[in-house]
Amino acid sequence: MRRLTYENARGERIVFYLSPILIESLTGIGEVDADLQGQKSPYQDGETHLDVILQPRFIDLEGSILKTDLKEMKAYRKYILRVCNPKLGLGKITLELDGDIKEIFGVLDGTPAFPERGRDVWQKFLITWKCPSPYWRDPNQTSESLQSYVGNFTLPFTLPFELGVSGSHTTLFNNGDIPASVRIDIQGPVTNPQILNKTNGQWLKVNRSIARNEILHIDTTEGRKRVEIYRNGRVYDVFGYLDYDSEWIKLDTGANEIEHIADAGDSNSLVAITWNSMYVGI
């Protein structure tokens, strides 16, 4: 099975599958261009390899509107143009392929094209998305709790994890092909909380006291980095309290030993870490 769903920034969705909007060709879902980084010394044969940088991913979809009635055909053309509007910015592409489901964010590289029908019974179309990040993401996020306390506090937000009981350290496993950014939620009371990834040496610390009725939220995702406090249903920006030497920690591929420490309150606070595994292709 090959089914692609596109959801734009307004929450409007369109499904490309069989009838009435058929996928005829889909390219760019696996292959992506790479820029090989190297350096060359005087009189050196060849060069020294430094790194590989993946370029943005381009996904091309060719399909047909399986309607012969002119009125219905025009309605589906307008529907495709409305949902696949490049002025709306990034949207979410979800691909179901042979039982596997992955998602990626992309923007339309121009409006959808509708070639002249000529003698064709059906209306063909061509859509191209540019995905700034080339990596496919597992839509099912993984959450692990490090620590909790007993109390009657009611969360002001519906958080993407279950509050469980664990120790002050744990091992998290990233199934993806590349290091994964994380979302960290710490519920007070705690003073100057710090999260360490002992596997890769990265650490992150916030120099602030978190009250019992507060939740500290940290997102290390590129383009969405944030440090916030949730309190009484409101969100407060506390980015300035991030320790100067902190790193935007990630989970390496495979096992990661994670530890939570603090100047005070680490035995009473709750810590949860959430991530989505990332893949180079599907």
pLDDT-based confidence at residue 165 (cuts at 50, 70, 90): very low
Q: What is the pLDDT of residues 265-277, one digit of tens each?
A: 656 678 899 999 9
Domain assignment of residue 31, given as a range:
2-134
Domain ends where: 112, 134, 156? 134
The answer to whether residue 101 scores a pLDDT higher than 50 is yes
Quick: pLDDT tens for 216-231. 999 999 888 999 999 9
Q: Which of 101, 134, 167 is the last residue of a domain?
A: 134
Q: Does 158 lie in the same domain as 94?
A: no
Per-residue model confidence as pLDDT tens digits over 115-161: 887 777 889 999 999 999 999 999 998 888 875 433 333 444 455 44
Considering the domain architecture, whether residues 166 and 79 belong to the same structural domain is answered as: no
Please check whether residues 23 and 130 belong to one and the same domain: yes
Whether the model pTM is above 0.75: yes
- Give yes or no: residues 29 and 64 share one domain: yes
Query: Which CATH number belongs to the domain containing residue 83 in this structure?
Result: 2.40.30.200
**Average pLDDT of the chain, as a whole number:** 87
Please report, rounded to a whole number, the percentage of residues in the chain having pLDDT higher than 70.
91
Extract the tokens encoding 203. 């650490």
pLDDT bin (cut points 50, 70, 90) of residue 19 is: confident
pLDDT at 155: 45
- Residue 166, pLDDT > 70, answer no
Do residues 153 and 275 both lie within one domain? yes
d(CA 151, CA 174): 31
Helices (H), the chain: 70-83
Would you list the DSSP string of 170-218? EEEEE-SSS-EE-EEEEESSEES-EEEETTTTEEEEB-SEE-TTEEEEE
Q: List, for residues 40-80, the tens digit of each pLDDT value.
A: 899 888 899 888 888 999 999 999 999 888 899 999 999 99
Give the integer Cα–Cα distance in Å for 173 and 70: 53
Both 156 and 108 in a single domain? no
pLDDT value of position 57 = 94
| Same-domain status, 80 and 206 | no
Cβ atoms of 15 and 92 closer than 8 Å: no
Please check whether residues 156 and 129 belong to one and the same domain: no
Say yes or no: 90 and 51 in one domain. Answer: yes
Distances (CA, A) of 237 to 173, 231, 240, 241: 30, 11, 8, 9
- The answer on 195 and 104 residing in a single domain is no
Single residue among 134, 164, 182 that ends a domain in this structure: 134
CATH number of the domain bearing residue 195: 2.60.120.880
Mean pLDDT of 229-235: 90
Residues 19, 129: one domain? yes
Task: Say if residue 126 is in the same domain as residue 161.
Answer: no
Domain count, the chain: 2
